[in-house]
Amino acid sequence: MGGTGKLGRRHALVTGAGSGIGAAIARTLVQNGARVTLAGRRREPLDALAAELAGSDVFVADGFDVTDAAAIARGLEAARQAFGPVGILVNNAGEAPSAPFEKTSLDMWSHVIGVDLTGVFQVTQAVLPDLKSVGDGARIINVASTAGLVGYGYVSAYCAAKHGVVGLTRALALELARKGVTVNAVCPGFTDTPIIQRSVAAIAAKTGRSEEEALSEFVKSNPQGRLVKPEEVADTVLWLASPGSSSITGQAIVVAGGEVMAG
């Protein structure tokens, strides 16, 4: 793995890299020549991914809590010492608890906004000096969701946060358009990740339906009749990170089998 590849050994920092979409993105970036910082709160899954990618340029930044400015600063400084300034930032860390709006507590609301929206703000602001110093070819790629473009019931905090991420993406793209830094969002639909697997199990337990029946509730919204694969999201991130996407900025790219068609 590794080598020069299309990403030319640029330093990519991926938050929430321990599993699911984040791990798929990290694998794809490494395979295409990037030096990748695997950032996340828990060391064990990051170490497991680093072991899988042994022989490649990867650095583990554990304790990387996107809600904690001091933790971000520590992790970023260690990452810089390993690979130099960050040229590709992938904001992927996020959480998606479910509850009816009237049962959504202020604590839940604040937590989701803190992780999924303010976390993007804090990490991006911390990394921005690196990106501006790199200049042409620097990238910010925010993993949002179709929930950033449309509404879904029972995840009001998540929808609000992801709409905020898309808005932040568009605003920052304009600010950085002449700095050589592009800013885009990737908006997956329901994706085959541990989060979805836990949701399927929870629905089955609450309703008495089989896991196959519970899964069908997620699949039916996708016109292709399936879950999105994490690798498909990662390939979209790779395209946005690549030199050929330099004119693409301020966009929300939907990866959802036709479920949402952004105008």
Catalytic residue numbers, as ranges: 158
Would you tell me how many other CB atoms lie within 10 Å of the CB of residue 5? 17
How far apart (Å, rounded) are the C-alpha atoms in residues 176 and 183?
8
Would you tell me how many other CB atoms lie within 10 Å of the CB of residue 147? 24
Tokens of 55: 């022989």
Find residue 185's DSSP bridge partners. 142, 252
Please tell me the total number of residues recorded for the chain in this structure: 263
Longest dimension (CA), the chain: 55
Helix (H, G, I), strand (E, B) or coil at 256: coil
**Is residue 25 a contact partner of residue 233, using CB atoms and an 8 Å limit?**
yes
